[in-house]
Amino acid sequence: MDLIRRVAKDLVEANYAIAFTGAGISTESGIPDFRGPSGIWTRDPEAEKRAYEIYGKFLRDPSEYWKEALRSPLYSLLEKAEPNPAHKALADLESMGILMCVITQNIDGLHQKAGSRNVVEFHGSVSKLRCIRCGSRFDKRKFIKVLESHNVPECENCGSALKLDVVHFTEPIPTDVYVKSFEEAMKCDLMLVCGTSAVVYPAAELPRVAKRNGAKIVEINLEETSLTFEGVSDYIIKGKVGENLPKIVEEVKKLRIQS
């Protein structure tokens, strides 16, 4: 049986299927990934080192942090991007009642723009601000004037300096998304892992936890990953998510008509 038919059948037969996505699901929206063949860090390893300093900078000097965040070409690219057929396919699977939730490592908000409703943003979102003291989140648009006048935005609940909701390296994962993601990974019996190299922890623990709990793990990726090599995934569909996920949706529709 070809792998598209196989995953469609697995999805239809699953009781609780979820998706786990990474930067690779957004490359076809024009956002580069980090570690893929033409990723940001594959081409510029120094950029990876700088990324490890951002959170410390916020803790030391929020105003310096905001100066850099506002200049970042990556953040403005993310805010302008549009969903691609892969995001739309996952939203379709959710509205068909096949997919229960999407856990994404991405910060670009493209799953929601494509129509997915049950989305857990493990690494936060570029369009929100978050207070690391009380955990409150705010729509970034609310603070545009403050940011444009080069002031540090402050939490409306406790007055602390706000940062982007984005989880930077060395920053802990906010408790609410952490708990929700691990609950979903433990609950699912099928995890569709789309466009992630699965090397950033603790996010990369999610497919491993799901596997240990008996779930089937299916990867869609341009290349084999640590999940493939370690035998965490049951099988891998090698190729573009934007081409394969819409084919999977079509196959699921066919199977449903037949049954």
Signed CA dihedral, 108, 110, 213, 100: sign only: positive
Contact track, ligand NAD, 90-129, x by CB under 6 A: ---------------xxxx--------------x------
d(CA 112, CA 101): 11
Active site residue 168: no
23 lies in the binding site for ligand NAD (CB under 6 A): yes
176 lies in the binding site for Zn ion (CB under 5 A): no
161 lies in the binding site for Zn ion (CB under 5 A): no
Signed CA dihedral, 165, 167, 171, 174: sign only: positive
Contact segment (CB under 6 A) with ligand NAD among 133-141, 152-160, 170-178, 237-245 equals 237-245
Nearest approach in angstroms of CB 174 to ligand NAD is 14
Residues of span 81-140 touching Zn ion by CB under 5 A? 131, 133-134, 136
- Residue 157 interface partner, choices Zn ion, ligand NAD, none, CB cut-off 5-8 Å depending on type: Zn ion
d(CA 214, CA 209): 9
Strands (E) located in the chain:
17-21, 99-104, 119-121, 128-131, 137-139, 162-164, 190-194, 216-221, 235-238
33 lies in the binding site for ligand NAD (CB under 6 A): yes
- Residue 106 interface partner, choices ligand NAD, Zn ion, none, CB cut-off 5-8 Å depending on type: ligand NAD
d(CA 226, CA 76): 31
Contact segment (CB under 6 A) with ligand NAD among 87-95, 127-135, 178-186, 239-247 equals 239-247
For Zn ion, give the closer residue by CB, 42 or 160: 160
Q: Yes or no: say if 24 and 33 are a contact pair by the CB < 8 Å rule.
A: yes
Among 64, 82, 223, 250, binds ligand NAD (CB under 6 A): 223
d(CA 74, CA 105): 15
DSSP string, 122-179: TT--TTEEEETTT--EEEGGGGHHHHHTTPPPB-TTT-PBEEESS--TTSPPPHHHHH
Among 144, 158, 179, 199, binds Zn ion (CB under 5 A): 158
**What radius of gyration do the chain's Cα atoms show?**
19
Q: Yes or no: say if 90 and 111 are a contact pair by the CB < 8 Å rule.
A: yes
Among 84, 118, 98, 32, smallest CA distance to 246 is for 84
Contact segment (CB under 6 A) with ligand NAD among 94-102, 129-137, 170-178, 190-198 equals 190-198
Nearest approach in angstroms of CB 143 to Zn ion is 13
34 lies in the binding site for ligand NAD (CB under 6 A): yes
Contact residues toward Zn ion (CB under 5 A) are 131, 133-134, 136, 155, 157-158, 160
Contact residues toward ligand NAD (CB under 6 A) are 22-24, 26-28, 31, 33-36, 39, 78, 105-108, 123, 195-197, 200, 220-223, 225, 240-242
Q: Give the catalytic positions in this structure.
A: 123
